[in-house]
Amino acid sequence: MTAAVEQQIVPPKTAIPAIFVSHRRGLRKIKPQQALLKINNVVSRDQAKNYIGNSVVFYTVGKDGSQRSNYGRIMSIHGKSGIVKAKFSRNLPPKAISTLVYIKLYKVGEHEI
């Protein structure tokens, strides 16, 4: 049997899960360098303010089974319902929409991505 076995990605214990909702977009333009994230149990602008500056990590599994990570930072709030904008070191692919991203519980500097 040569069936590929998918590895289970274990979330870190010092992180909160969030869902990658979409890239930031306007009427005619999509900005793939900015990702919109919906944090679990965050429903207001005031709650989302606490996460500005936190580190974000997106895990993927490569074709060879190795785990790859893409780090980023929460830049600002988007709207009034608790959505935040994040910028990653490499843009997130569109097929990653509705997958989990993990928000670390510590702040990082602006240029530490």
CA gap 109, 112 in Å, rounded: 5
Least confident of 27-36, 54-63, 104-113: 104-113
57, 79, 102 from 11: Cα distances, Å: 10, 27, 7
Give me the CATH number covering residue 89. 2.40.10.190
Give 1-37 pLDDT, tens digit per residue. Answer: 334 444 456 666 789 999 999 999 999 999 999 999 9
| Cβ partners under 8 Å of residue 90, min gap 6 | 70
In this structure, is residue 8 part of a structural domain?
A: no
| Segment 56-68 mean pLDDT | 92
Q: Give percent of the chain above pLDDT 90.
A: 80
Residue 25 forms part of a structural domain? yes
Among the listed residues 102, 113, 34, the one whose alpha carbon sits nearest the alpha carbon of residue 73: 113
pLDDT number for residue 109: 87
Closest CA to 94 of 9, 33, 8: 33
Give CA–CA dist 38/94, Å, rounded: 16
pLDDT at 105 over 90: yes
Q: What is the number of domains present in the chain?
A: 1
Residue 48's domain comprises 15-107
SS3 10: coil
For the entire predicted model, the pTM comes to 0.85
Is 9 part of any domain? no
Instruction: Establish if 113 belongs to a structural domain.
Output: no
